[in-house]
Amino acid sequence: MAYAGDWQDYFPYITRPDATTSIIRGCGGWGYSSYFGAAVVWPIPLADAYYDGACTGAVFHHPAYRGDGFNNYMLSTSTLAEPAYWDLTTRTGPNQWAPQRLPKVQFPAAKAILVEIHPVHDMPYQSHRQTEGMPPVGMAAVDGSVGRWKREDLIPGVTSGEGIYDGIYLGQGVFGMHTINGVLGRDINR
């Protein structure tokens, strides 16, 4: 949470809601990302200030990972839009995409900030068909705690994920990513 301390209590906010794609700089280079693509590319712009210039390596990988890919820990996209966006009855669209602040979180021990994309198991989608036999899902909560939770200990989020707009990354619900009521809600039933 060093980022929040340096940036007036905001969660990492590295893409622009008013742009089709955002330019991401860091690690001695640059690239492009959709708005909610920040979920995956967050290490790049944070690397120089918080990770000694590294945006890949062991700190960004699950211990079982054996490839040379980028990042196994996704930033919860629920930190990138107003709480009303994460309730389908109050969602109006990209006009609700905005940075969120740490003090808004009502349940820090139950709100995911990072969700593990396991190198062997499937993405933790929350549809029933995809959760049967699902291994525990690794998450880091806003309070700094980490753990792995079984399906029955997780609270499903918005089933349509980030929606149908340009700029989305995941169009279906993933545990910890699309929290009902965003930073005001809970991902872990504790």
Domain, as residue range, for 15: 2-184
How confident is the model at residue 5, as a pLDDT? 85
How confident is the model at residue 117, as a pLDDT? 83
Tens of pLDDT, residue by residue over 19-41, are: 989 999 988 888 899 999 999 99
189 within some domain: no
Confidence band of 14 (pLDDT split at 50, 70, 90)? very high
53 within some domain: yes
How confident is the model at residue 110, as a pLDDT? 98
How confident is the model at residue 179, as a pLDDT? 97
Confidence band of 57 (pLDDT split at 50, 70, 90)? confident
How confident is the model at residue 93, as a pLDDT? 96
153 within some domain: yes
Q: Which two tokens stand for residue 132?
A: 């049967």
As for how many domains the chain has, the answer is 1
Instruction: Using the predicted structure, report yes or no on whether residue 55 has a pLDDT greater than 70.
Output: yes
Backbone φ and ψ for 31, nearest 5 degrees, come out as -165, -170
Tens of pLDDT, residue by residue over 99-158, are: 999 999 999 999 999 999 876 666 777 765 556 677 889 999 999 999 999 988 999 999
190 within some domain: no
Task: Kindly report whether the global pTM for this prediction surpasses the value 0.85.
Answer: yes
Helix (H, G, I), strand (E, B) or coil at 111: coil
Q: Which two tokens stand for residue 88?
A: 């389908």
Instruction: Using the predicted structure, report yes or no on whether residue 169 has a pLDDT greater than 90.
Output: no
How confident is the model at residue 27, as a pLDDT? 86
Backbone φ and ψ for 130, nearest 5 degrees, come out as -90, -5
Report the candidate in 102, 185, 188, 90 with the shortest Cα–Cα distance to residue 148: 188
